[in-house]
Amino acid sequence: MDMDEIVCSCLNITNGMIRDAVKSGAKTLEEVQEITGAGTVCGACLDDVKRLIEEFNAE
């Protein structure tokens, strides 16, 4: 997975930024949103963000 790939284009949030949020303790979509802002503007990336959170939590 490319950690520099943008997941949330509204705020330029990358896969790596989501991973960093999860590694720092965020377990839920809401916690990741608080840290990164991902999915809080238009919401188009919410499914991708949720999938990434599940993947990173499983690591």
Q: What is the reported pLDDT for 40?
A: 97
Q: What is the reported pLDDT for 53?
A: 98
pLDDT tens profile 11-53: 999 999 999 999 999 999 999 999 999 999 999 999 999 999 9
Task: Work out the pLDDT band at 57, boundaries 50, 70, 90.
Answer: very high
Pure H helices in 1-59? 15-23, 29-36, 46-58
**What is the value of pTM for the model shown?**
0.93
Specify the CATH number for the domain of residue 35.
Answer: 1.10.10.1100
In a domain, 28, yes or no: yes
Q: What is the reported pLDDT for 28?
A: 97
First and final C-alpha spacing in the chain? 13
Q: Which domain holds residue 51?
A: 6-58
What's the number of CA atoms in the CB half-sphere (13 Å) around residue 21? 26
Q: What is the reported pLDDT for 38?
A: 98
Rounded alpha-carbon distances, angstroms, from residue 18 to 21, 26, 46, 49: 5, 9, 12, 8
In a domain, 22, yes or no: yes
The total domain count for the chain is 1
In a domain, 1, yes or no: no
